[in-house]
Amino acid sequence: MSLARALEAAASALPEHEDAIRPANGDPERLLAALAPPAATAVLAWLLEQSPDDGEQLALAWADLEAGAAALRGLEEGKLGKAGRKALRRAQHRLRSRGVELGTAPIAARVATLPKLDDEIDVALVSPPDPSGAQLVVVVESSPSGGTRIFQGAVDLERGILEFRVLQANRSQARRLLRELDANAALAATEAPRASVAALLARAAEVQPADRALPQAFGEWRNRVARAPEGASTPGALARAGVDASPTPSLLREVAEAVAAGAYGPWPPDFEVLHALAEKVRDTAKSRLLLDDQQRRAQVDAAIGDALETRYAPPAAERTAARFEEFAYSAWKRGRTEDAQRCVAAARAFREQPPRDNPVARALLERALQPLLDALRDEEASSLVVRP
């Protein structure tokens, strides 16, 4: 058995440590950095007992690392089998050859290696959807080995997990990143409960297309970043519960005007869907059966109404509602109450009104089809010019 396979078996046998073991991908140094000393000792003890050759390989690798002594020092030789004891002695010999003392470390020294309580970081941020529908998600947490671990991803409630990566940084770098994100008004990344961000990641992962695999880093860390407690709400759901708003005609008209101005959306569907809708509208506009521009405009309007029913059929209507609520969360937490109310009202309209009757839905679709509609209007205007 290779060390990587042995560690995979350890991850299954020691679920409390799997979130540190699997992302290391068999790399002893990465694994040691991800585990606190007692956890590292537990993993090494399991390997020395279950797969002594692989356990020895890990122990020797850790014996060459500055932080490895703590894990080796915590092992009780008497609890290991014969092969495991021999492997441990060889690793201890390597430590002694480096001049490392194997006696019990003073308690004070062990405490000094742990992060100070005041330096602990556990922060999650989420941005509202951009014009494509993608949201930035950032989670920063203290690393057991010191420093911080930063999870950064782009998620979409229609298209799943688009990007995901994991970075290591010291605490000053992490705090600087958080300050920069908070100060970026255009991005509007807003702090949210860690459980809510986990719920958002889990919801996005559920809609991942079958033909596009989840990012590898997300798969490795999914249990840590996207395992939300039962009943946890996404940031948008928190806004829905905390902001009181009804989809009145005036509020929906304001949102539709904001959509036309580029404040929200257009969150277009996949290109194939958008292309099919555009072709249907174009064919209607150019039909030879229509005798005048008034008939043509009426038929184009009817075609857009049909396209609305197609675009915002379930589950697209619910996902669009959720996007507006994600916008509402950012506005709500940043003190823009009226903006939050408009977004919550728009979300309710997508759940309660037929797409054909929803002015916000029409504004989103027309903005997505804007190049085509502009071209059709230009053609109509040119047809009205009296030529000599």
pLDDT tens-digit readout, 185-210: 889 999 999 999 999 999 999 999 99
pLDDT in tens, 103-130: 544 333 333 333 343 457 899 999 999 9
**Where among 58, 88, 112 does a domain terminate?**
112
The C-alpha atoms of residue 65 and residue 68 are separated, in whole angstroms, by: 5
Residue 99 has pLDDT above 60, yes or no: yes
3-state DSSP: the chain helix, strand, coil percent, rounded to 5?
Answer: 60, 10, 30
8 Å CB contact between 175 and 121: yes
Question: What is the helix (H) or strand (E) element at residue 139, kind and residue range?
Answer: strand 134-142
pTM for the full predicted model:
0.69
8 Å CB contact between 347 and 324: yes
Binning pLDDT at 50, 70 and 90, where does residue 102 land? low
Angle at 331 between CA 177 and CA 254, to 5 degrees: 140
Position 381 scores a pLDDT of 53
Residues 107 and 121 occupy one common structural domain: no
Q: Which of 340, 344, 346, 350 is nearest to 316 (CA)?
A: 350
8 Å CB contact between 349 and 318: no
Residues 262 and 350 occupy one common structural domain: yes
Residue 101 has pLDDT above 80, yes or no: no
> Residue 23 belongs to what domain range?
3-112
Is 9 within a domain? yes
Residues 251 and 371 occupy one common structural domain: yes
What is the average per-residue pLDDT within 353-380? 85
**Where among 112, 127, 162 does a domain terminate?**
112
Phi, psi of 102 (to 5 degrees): -100, 5
Residue 385 has pLDDT above 50, yes or no: no
Is 157 within a domain? yes
Position 74 scores a pLDDT of 81
